[in-house]
Amino acid sequence: MKITKISLIALATSLFCVSCSGEKEEAKHNDEGSTENVEEVLEKEVVVESHDLDKELQFKIDLIIGNNITGPSQVISKVKNQGIGRFQESYAIPIEQARFFEGTSDVKGLALGALGVDVTYLSVYDRPDLALKYIASINKLNIDLDCGMIIDGDAIDAFDEAKEDGDKMSELMYEQYFMMEDYLKSNSKLEVAAHVMLGGIFESLYISAAQLIDVDLTDETVNLLYGQKQAVSDLIEVYQDMEGDEIIIDELIKVKKIFETASSDFTKGDLETLHEIVKAFHDEFTS
C-alpha cells in the first residue's frame, strides 16, 4: 500500500525519536562494551514504526465503515418505507449466480457487500423466504475472506425461523454485518472492508435508482441517494491510497460527480445517468 503524507510525517517523527534514542544507547554501549542495547534500539524502531502505520490503517478503516457497514441496506429499507417504486425480483443477483462467486478476493468482497443488500431488499419487500436462500452464499464468502461473521448453526436456525418475517430477517442480517464491521476494524483488513462497502453501495444505488426512475423526484427521495455521497468520497481516497483498480476508481469518481449536483439541481436525467453507471457495474460484476 502507498504510504500517504500522514504516514510519512508519522514515520519521520518515529524515526527521529528512534535516532535520538539510538545515540543515547550507542553511548551507553561504548561505555559498557555490550551489544544488548543495540538490539534493544532495533526492537524499538520496529515497534514505533509499526504502531504509526497501524494507526494510519485503522484510521482509514474507520473512515470507510464509520457510518456503519449496513448503510447501503438502510437506504433500501427507507425507499420501501416511503412506498416508492415497486418490487422486482430481477433487481437482486440471481440466486444461481449467488451460489457460485469464485475468483479473486476483490470479487468475493464485492459479492459479499452486494448480497447483503439483496437480502435486505428481498426481506423488506416480503420475500424473506427467498432471502434465506442467499445466506449460505454469504456465509461461504465470509469464510473465504475471513470476515468475522458468526453464521453458525444457531444463526442458521434463527434465519430459518424468520423466513416469514421480513423485518426480523433484515434485523438478523444487520447483526451479522455489525459483527463483520468490528472484526474488520480490529484485524486491520482494509482491502476487504473497502470491497464490501463498494459492493454494498453500488448494489444499493442500482436497486434504489431503478425504483426512483418511475416516480416523481422530491427532496426527500433525492436525499436517500445523496446520503451515500460521503461514503463514495471516502472510498475514492482509500482506493487511490491502496493503488487499487483504476476502473473502480473511475466509476466511483463518476458517481461522486453526479452527487455533486444533488444538493442543488438533481434532475431525472442525473438519476438516469447514475442508474446507467451502477447498472453497468452490476451487470459486469454478475455476468
Of 199 and 79, the structure prediction assigns the larger pLDDT to 199
* Domain range summary for the chain, segments of one domain joined by +: 5-57, 69-286
**pLDDT greater than 60 at residue 3:** no
**pLDDT greater than 50 at residue 65:** yes
Which residue in 142, 86, 72 sits closest to 134, CA to CA?
Answer: 142
Query: How does residue 249 score in pLDDT terms, banded at 50, 70 and 90?
Result: very high
**pLDDT greater than 70 at residue 264:** no
Q: How far apart are CA 10 and CA 50, in angstroms?
A: 11
Q: What is the dihedral of CA 88, 125, 177, 99, to 10 degrees?
A: -40
- Name the amino acid, one letter, at 201: I
Whether this model's pTM surpasses 0.85: no
Whether the CB-CB separation of 69 and 76 falls below 8 Å is answered with no
Per-residue pLDDT of 77-128, as tens digits, reads 888 877 877 888 899 998 887 777 777 888 899 999 899 889 889 988 888 8
pLDDT, position 69: 57
Of 45 and 132, the structure prediction assigns the larger pLDDT to 132
pLDDT, position 279: 93
Q: How far apart are CA 148 and CA 192, in angstroms?
A: 11
